[in-house]
Amino acid sequence: MQIQRVLAQLERVESEMARFYEWLSEVFASDGDASGLFFRMSLQEKSHAGLIKYGRKLVYRSPNEFEDVDFDETAVASLLESLGEFRADFPEPTLAEALFFAMKIEGHPAENGHRDVLAVSNPEISQMIKSLAIADEEHYRTLSTFAQARAAEFD
């Protein structure tokens, strides 16, 4: 698959994740800690989208330096569908529901898809990809730590 097409889909995933976390920040506006956590997550997802957009510019400027890649487009559709379904099914989620769903989607293949796509296409930019991977792993740890700290509220 053309790398530009893959990156466009992955940029959309990051942008939708940012919107999802913005929504959760608003849902939990009365809980400063939860709202702040989700707001920070939204900013980080926007940053990831920006890095992928930068990657798209690199490809645009030097298309011959990037090879096509194997990528499962159904993973993107699945993640985007999951985000929409969660919002429809849980218009006012509990904190537990929001945190556990967020941890689930942080481990979704589409959310982590950018880790290898650019590096496979052009190994010279693998450091940028490693930075994104570290940030995604940190998202899961942050959500998990917050959930553990607030676990008593979930009974």
Q: What is the dihedral of CA 53, 146, 96, 9, to 10 degrees?
A: 10
| pLDDT greater at residue 131 or residue 139 | 139
Are 73 and 9 in contact, with CB atoms under 8 Å apart? yes
Residue 112 has pLDDT above 70, yes or no: no
CA-nearest of 2, 9, 4 to 111 is 9
Number of residues written out for the chain? 155
Predicted structure pTM score: 0.82
CATH number at residue 98: 1.20.1260.10
**Percent helix / strand / coil, the chain, rounded to 5:** 85, 0, 15
The total number of structural domains in the chain stands at 1
pLDDT at 107: 80
pLDDT at 4: 85
pLDDT in tens, 120-138: 677 666 666 666 667 777 8
Q: Range of 133's domain?
A: 3-154
Give first-to-last CA distance, the chain, whole Å. 46
Residue 115 has pLDDT above 60, yes or no: no
CA-nearest of 42, 104, 50, 53 to 78 is 104
pLDDT at 43: 94
Residue 116 has pLDDT above 70, yes or no: no
Alpha carbon distance 135, 138 (integer Å): 5
pLDDT in tens, 45-103: 998 898 888 888 888 888 888 778 787 788 889 899 999 999 999 999 999 999 999 99
